[in-house]
Each structure stands twice: as structure tokens, then as C-alpha cells.
Amino acid sequence: MSLEAESRRTTLITASVLILLGLLLSAYSSHHPQLVKFGNFVVTGFERPVLGVLSYSFGGVSDVYDNYFSLLDVKKENTELQKKIGILAEQNSALQALKKENEQLAILLEFRKQRSLSGIAGNVIGYSGTALSRSVIVDRGWDADIEVGQAVVAGNALIGQVIAVGSGNSTVLLIDDAASGVDVFSEDGRFRGVVKGRGHGLMELAYVPAGTTLTIGEQLFTSGLDGNFPKGLLLGYIKNITTTDKQQMFVSAEVEAALNLNNLEIVYLINNKK
Amino acid sequence: MRYRSISIRNSVKFILSVLLAVYVQEILASLIFPVNMVPQLLLGWIVFLSFYWPRPQAVFLAFLIGLVVDFMVAKLAGPGAVMAVLIYLLLSTVSSRLYLEALFVKIVCGYSSVFLFVGGYKLLLSIFQGEEFSFNWNLQYGFVLTALLMPLIISILKKTLRPANSLI
């Protein structure tokens, strides 16, 4: 037998013996863990003091790795959360809009029940461009039996009347338009007058007989005498008394609309015929 | 080419280098690398033994290195030693048919050895300790790093432990 072959045979026998020894050691150490603990102490014991010192210098490096990988996760999580926030914000604004619409419709419904007025609700789909022409466009037209002259309310207050009707939409002249005039009376019925538009949500109370005492904050309601508007619709409040001269025939006052006429969304077109 | 004989001085050097590897391994594992990226440096010593060290002594040294790994892991004494001997046998058998100086050979042998070592170690642990056998068959960073470091480890060991009469 050659030296090489002899060497191989010896190696194989040695390896077999060592493998057997390893298996026996495994079996023994599974029941006697103190052997492993002792071995671990012998192998790693000498390095522990040095590791303790080095950990101060290398600990930072390890932290950098850990933090880096954590940051990668955080970045990913952040992106996902940002997306979720975007979706939730969108849903939230949609719900807010629905809530607002629901509130407005509830007010209109209540108004309709209380006043027994028939009509149809509509959405404001456009505004007139200038302050001189104060009108809005509503998504109801002749196909919804809308006619010129119909009173239009929002909430529980008058906002104007229909001046033009088209297919699927109509134009509503707001009460603060310069061409608008509404016959009104005070909340206690002491006086009557006409409210004329001046733009920007402001109106003027005119033709109130001299000697009438006006009170700031007093509510004004439609009288129904002009034939266009049902009686008793809230129009606005006296904001400022402008003429107090008793020598003149009439007194006048500045009137503020009960609603913000620049922020209309849902309106109710009253059928004057019924 | 396998060394014909090795001096006592080189044997001592080898054992010291193993201790140094243990030391470096602990530092890498404890302070620098994340757990899944720690290379198994001692596998480099086993591959070196399989390729170059004289046979009868090499198998003993491989067994001791495996035992050192066992003590480092501190779960059981034996599985690492068994796997080290088996990997030694496997690599020393195929080494005569391989061109050992090729970088690719060293890397492939390195990856194979760490793959077999870890797989076999976990299997033996499951047998003797009753642990459930679980092994990640995907490419692991620690394995790849071990394989990539293999040529460097072998090169350093060859320079450090070259016999006086060797032409390598």
C-alpha cells in the first residue's frame, strides 16, 4: 500500500472516530449543559475584557448599522402612512362635505315642513362674475318646472328669485343685487319697507315712514305684498341706521343678509303657484 | 498542493490563528455586523486544512475548530465538530480534482462549506436537543460574505503557515 493511500485510510479511520466522538459529545452535552458552559468560558473568556473595552469604540458602529436598517423600515412605513393619511384626508373632506350638505338639506326639510311650501332643492353650480350683477346659477331648469319669479331660499332665509330659466339650469337674482327689491316688514310688524340690493351682501331698507323707530339687529321678513315672495321669509337684519333726520319723509337703514350670499351650496326653489 | 509535513511551530501558529479568528468573529458579531451578516470565519480555516494541510493532523484540527465553534455557540458540544470533520472529508476528497488557486473555486467551496455546516449543525441540534429544524434556504448575507472572504483567509493562512521547504 502506498504512503498516500495509507494516509487516506488513517484519515478516514480518524475522521470516523472523531465523528463518533462528536456524536457522543452531543448526546452527553444535551444532558450535561455545564460542559458547554465550561467550554464557552474557556474559548471566549479571554476575550471578554477586551470586548468590553472595544464595545465602547465599536458600539457606535453597530448602532449605526442597527439604526440604518431601522431607518429603512421607518422610511418605508412613513411612505405608507403618508399614503394612508392622503386617502383618509380625502375621505374626511368628502364626509365633511356630505355632512354639510346633510345639515343644509335637514334645514331645508324642516323649513318646508314648517311653512308647508312646495318646491324643489337645487345645487348652486355657478356665480355671476361681478359684484354689480349678483346672481347664481342653480342646476334646476324648465325640465324641473322652474319658472321665472320663483322665490329661492337657503336654510330658512330668502336669497333671491329666479330671473331666467334654461334647460337644466336657471339664474337666480340675489337679494343684494342692485336690481332686486323686496317688500318687507319688521319682526313685530311695526313698519313696512322695501329692501334694495347694494351688492356685497349688503342691502338698504327704504321707504319706511319718517318717525318710525328702527332698531339695530331687528329682523326683517317678506311681506308677500309684492306677489313674488311668500309672506314671512327671513331676509336679513338691520345693521346700521343711516337716516335719522325727522324732516325727511322716509328713514333708511343698512341691512345685512341673513345668510352669507357668497357661499351658497344648496338652495330651495319655492313653487309660488302652490 | 498539500503540504507534506508541518512543523510544530506552524501548528502553534495555526492554533493561535484560530484563537485570533474566534476573537475577530466575536468582535464582528458583537460590535460591527448585524446578526444575519456575520461571516463564519472559522470555516476558512477548515477549507484551508482541507486543501493544504497534511491529512492525519488536519482532521484533528478540523475537529477542534468545530468544537471551538460549538463552545462559541454554547448550545451543544459536538455538532459543530462533527460537521467540521464531514466538511473536511468532503473538501479534501474533491480538492485533488480542483484547481485550488482559482478564485472561483475558493468562493464556491467557501459557500458550500458554510451552507453545509450551518444546515448540518441545525439538523444535529434538532436531533440532540429536540429543537424544530428550521433552515433558511435563501441566499444569506452571512454565507455570501463568508464565501467572499474565503480567498483572503486562505491567502493569509498560506503566507503565514507556509512550511520552510515549501515552494508554494
- The residues, any chain, with a CB within 8 Å of residue A156's CB and separated by 6 or more, are A107, A110, A111, A233, A234
pLDDT at A97: 83
pLDDT at B168: 44
Q: In this structure, how many other beta carbons lie within 10 angstroms of the beta carbon of residue A237?
A: 18
pLDDT (average), residues B121-148? 81
User: pLDDT: is B58 or A69 the higher one?
Assistant: B58
Q: Give the H or E element holding residue B20.
A: helix B8-27
The residue ranges of chain A whose pLDDT is under 50 are 274
**Sign of the Cα pseudo-torsion (A188, A193, A194, A195, in order):** negative
Of the candidates A129, A128, A156, which has an alpha carbon nearest to the alpha carbon of residue A267? A156
- The residues, any chain, with a CB within 8 Å of residue B150's CB and separated by 6 or more, are B43, B44, B47, B106, B107, B109, B110
Q: In this structure, how many other beta carbons lie within 10 angstroms of the beta carbon of residue A149?
A: 12
pLDDT (average), residues B30-45? 76
Touching A: B residues 147-166, CB under 8 Å:
none
- The residues, any chain, with a CB within 8 Å of residue A236's CB and separated by 6 or more, are A157, A175, A195, A203, A219, A220, A255, A256, A257, A258
Rounded to whole angstroms, how far apart are CA atoms B153 and B42?
Answer: 9
Residue A89's SS3 state is helix
Q: Does A249 touch chain B (CB under 8 A)?
A: no
| Contact check, Cβ <8 Å, A23/B71 | no
Q: Give the H or E element holding residue B19.
A: helix B8-27
Q: Left (φ > 0), alpha (ψ -120 to 50) or beta: where does A155 sit?
A: left
Q: What is the 3-state secondary structure (H, E, C) of A10-30?
A: HHHHHHHHHHHHHHHHHHHHH
ipTM: 0.84
- Contacts of residue B66 in chain A, CB cutoff 8 Å? 22
Confidence of residue B83 (pLDDT cuts 50, 70, 90): very high
- Contacts of residue B70 in chain A, CB cutoff 8 Å? 36, 39
Q: In this structure, how many other beta carbons lie within 10 angstroms of the beta carbon of residue A273?
A: 8
pLDDT at A100: 82
Number of continuous H segments (helices) and E segments (strands) in chain A? 3, 12
pLDDT at B100: 78
CA B73 centroid distance within chain: 15
pLDDT at B1: 60
pLDDT (average), residues B24-28? 73
pLDDT (average), residues B117-145? 82
Task: Indicate the average pLDDT of chain B.
Answer: 81
- Contacts of residue B87 in chain A, CB cutoff 8 Å? none
pLDDT at A126: 81
Q: Does A65 touch chain B (CB under 8 A)?
A: yes
Q: Does A11 touch chain B (CB under 8 A)?
A: yes
**Set of cell numbers at residue A101:** 350638505
pLDDT (average), residues B99-112? 86
